[in-house]
Homo-oligomer: A and B are copies of this chain.
Amino acid sequence: IGAAALAQTDRYEMPADVAGTARALADTALDSDLAWDIVESLTTEVGPRLAGTPQEARARDWAVAKMEELGFENVRVEEFPLDLWTRGRSIYEEVAIVSPYPQPLYATSLGGAAPTPEGGLEAELVFFDSFDDLLAFDGAEDALRGKLVFVNDRMVASRTGEGYGWANRKRRQAWLEAENRGAAGVLIRSVGTSSHRFAHTGMMSFPEERMPEIPALAVSAPDADQIERIHHSGETITLRLRTHAGWRGEVVSGNVIGEIPGRETPEEIVVIGGHLDSWDLGTGALDDGAGVAITMAAAHLIDQLPENPRRTIRVVLFGAEEVGLVGARAYANARLADGTIEDHVIGSESDFGAREVWKFSSNVGPEALPVMDAMAREMAFLGIIRGDNESGGGPDMIPLQYMGVPMAALEQNGEDYFNFHHTPDDTLDKIDPGELAQNVAAWAMFVWMAAELPVDFRAGEDEAEAGDAAR
Contact = CB atoms under 8 A, between A and B. Distances in A.
A421 to B, nearest CB: 13
A46 interface: yes
Which of A44, A100, A282, A283 is most buried by chain B, counting CB atoms within 10 A of its CB? A44
Q: What copy number does this chain have within its complex? A: 2
A184 to B, nearest CB: 22
A304 interface: no
Contact of A90 (B92, B226, B427): B92
B102 A44 contact: no
Contacts of A428: 222, 225-226
Contacts of A94: 90, 92
B424 A230 contact: no
A44 B104 contact: no
Interface string A129-151: 00000000000000000000000
A81 to B, nearest CB: 24
A278 to B, nearest CB: 11
Contacts of A221: 429
Interface string A218-236: 0001100110011001000
A353 interface: no
Interface in A419-439: 423-425, 427-430
Interface in A1-49: 40, 44-48
A94 B91 CA distance: 9
Interface stretch (A194-202, A249-257, A286-294, A310-318): A194-202
Contact of A425 (B55, B103, B196, B430): B196
Interface in A86-122: 90-92, 94, 97, 100-104, 106
Interface of A: 40, 44-48, 55, 90-92, 94, 97, 100-104, 106, 195-198, 221-222, 225-226, 229-230, 233, 282-283, 423-425, 427-430
21 contacts: A44-B230, A45-B100, A45-B101, A47-B97, A48-B103, A90-B92, A90-B104, A92-B92, A92-B94, A106-B424, A197-B198, A197-B282, A197-B423, A197-B424, A197-B425, A221-B429, A222-B427, A222-B428, A222-B429, A226-B283, A226-B428
